[in-house]
């Protein structure tokens, strides 16, 4: 995750013998240590051997009297908390972190001496000032930042299929200082982690960047819109994955609420992990210029159990570089006639 890396969290639990702490806080009872695993009863159960949490790197968990898999091939202690608390994966991780007094937004660099922090920063600047480092930690920023922007909707987004009400839903605003439309970025817990700015006018001068981060964030750690759309993803049992944040807003405006954006066609391992954890079929809705070979390459990075589809414009419905979400009628045609299973 980087927020907190899941492997590191599990390693922490295993090395510090914290499995019984998590189980007890979850309400389990008759917790006993056996050879290589912990055994207990469900909070509302009377079978004292119903739950087994194994002392392996995955913290594999079996519940013999409850289905905690949620469609997954296997389950772990996080799955158990998801089931007990009726919460999604990120909130289950956050719950465990709170119980164990671990910072959900932990930064491995915090423990480095100041001299090494400076050296690391200078090396990163030398490599590329704009590199989106997958290891860059994600940190919430103050909600007060949004008060510096005007809560103005705009006609350009409306013309592009993002109505005024949808703009308000996603907190679209305006920054007078930079003359940019503001797009707040929130993580899966709905915490503000960045603000993206789009040049205000449709035609962008050559010497002006179309998009900049007014408040930088680790884009590779984000599935834009997930905090808002996850309930619909669970209901519809599918997720549309688009490139741009505006794609999510366009689909939302058209009534397709089960969607997220990766922020570009490059997908990080963190984003793959988060998509996998949704346990629903994934449908990529990328721009026309993304070739099937690129989509196949992305699909190959997922575990075999994940169903992956893509809308591929084999009939040349879209114009060059057009996104399917730019025209909902074209999106619906592709969804009906041009959806392909990648794996």
The structural domain count of the chain equals 4
Whether residue 211 is found in the same domain as residue 201: yes
- Residue 81 forms part of a structural domain: yes
CA distance 274 to 321: 27
Q: What is the pLDDT of residues 284-333, one digit of tens each?
A: 999 999 999 999 999 999 988 899 999 999 999 998 878 999 999 999 99
Show contacts of 195-201: CB within 8 Å, 24+ apart.
Answer: 195/145, 195/146, 195/149, 196/245, 200/154, 200/156, 200/174, 201/156
Whether residue 72 is found in the same domain as residue 143: no
Domain range enclosing 113: 109-137
pLDDT of residue 8: 86
- pLDDT of residue 93 exceeding 50, the answer is yes
Whether residue 267 is found in the same domain as residue 293: yes
Q: What is the pTM of this model?
A: 0.81
Whether residue 242 is found in the same domain as residue 321: yes
CA distance 218 to 268: 11
pLDDT of residue 129: 43
CATH number at residue 312: 3.40.1360.10
For residues 35-64, give the mean pLDDT.
96
- Residue 113 forms part of a structural domain: yes
SS3 for 235?
helix
Residue 250 host element (H or E):
helix 245-253
- Residue 1 forms part of a structural domain: no
- Residue 104 forms part of a structural domain: no
- pLDDT of residue 125 exceeding 50, the answer is no
Confidence of residue 113 (pLDDT cuts 50, 70, 90): low
Whether residue 315 is found in the same domain as residue 234: yes
The DSSP code sequence of 35-71 is SSEEEEE-TT---TTSEEEE-STT-BEEETTS---TT
Report the share of the chain in percent with pLDDT over 70: 90
Last residue of a domain, one of 99, 126, 161: 99
Last residue of a domain, one of 44, 75, 99: 99
Last residue of a domain, one of 180, 195, 217: 217
pLDDT of residue 4: 54
């Amino acid at each position: 995750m980087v927020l907190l890396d899941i492997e590191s969290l599990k390693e922490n639990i295993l090395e510090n013998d914290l499995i019984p702490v998590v189980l007890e806080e979850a309400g389990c009872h008759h917790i006993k240590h056996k050879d290589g695993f912990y055994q207990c009863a469900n909070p509302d159960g009377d079978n004292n051997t119903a739950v087994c949490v194994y002392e392996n790197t995955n913290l594999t968990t079996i519940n013999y009297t409850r289905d905690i898999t949620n469609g997954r091939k296997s389950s772990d202690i996080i799955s158990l908390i998801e089931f007990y608390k009726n919460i999604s994966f990120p909130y289950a991780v956050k719950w465990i972190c709170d119980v164990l007094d671990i910072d959900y937004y932990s930064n491995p660099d915090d423990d480095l001496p100041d001299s090494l922090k400076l050296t690391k920063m200078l090396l990163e600047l030398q490599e590329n000032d704009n590199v989106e480092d997958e290891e860059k930690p994600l940190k919430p920023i103050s909600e007060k930042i949004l008060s510096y922007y005007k809560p103005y909707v705009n006609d350009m987004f409306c013309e592009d299929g993002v109505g005024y009400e949808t703009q308000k839903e996603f907190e679209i605003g305006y920054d007078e200082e930079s003359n940019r439309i503001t797009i707040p970025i929130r993580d899966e817990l709905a915490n503000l982690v960045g603000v993206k700015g789009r040049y205000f006018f449709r035609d962008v001068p050559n010497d002006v960047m179309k998009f900049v981060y007014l408040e930088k964030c680790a884009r590779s750690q984000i599935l834009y819109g997930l905090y808002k759309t996850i309930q619909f993803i669970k209901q519809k049992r599918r997720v549309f994955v688009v490139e741009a944040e505006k794609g999510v807003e366009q689909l939302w405006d058209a009534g397709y609420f089960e969607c997220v954006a990766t922020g570009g066609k490059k997908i990080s391992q963190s984003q793959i992990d988060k998509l996998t954890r949704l346990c629903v079929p994934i449908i990529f809705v990328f721009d026309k210029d993304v070739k099937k070979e690129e989509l196949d390459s992305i699909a190959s990075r997922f575990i075999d159990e994940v169903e992956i589809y893509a809308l591929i414009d084999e009939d040349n419905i879209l114009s060059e570089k057009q996104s399917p979400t730019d025209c909902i009628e074209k999106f619906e045609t592709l969804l009906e006639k041009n959806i392909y299973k990648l794996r």
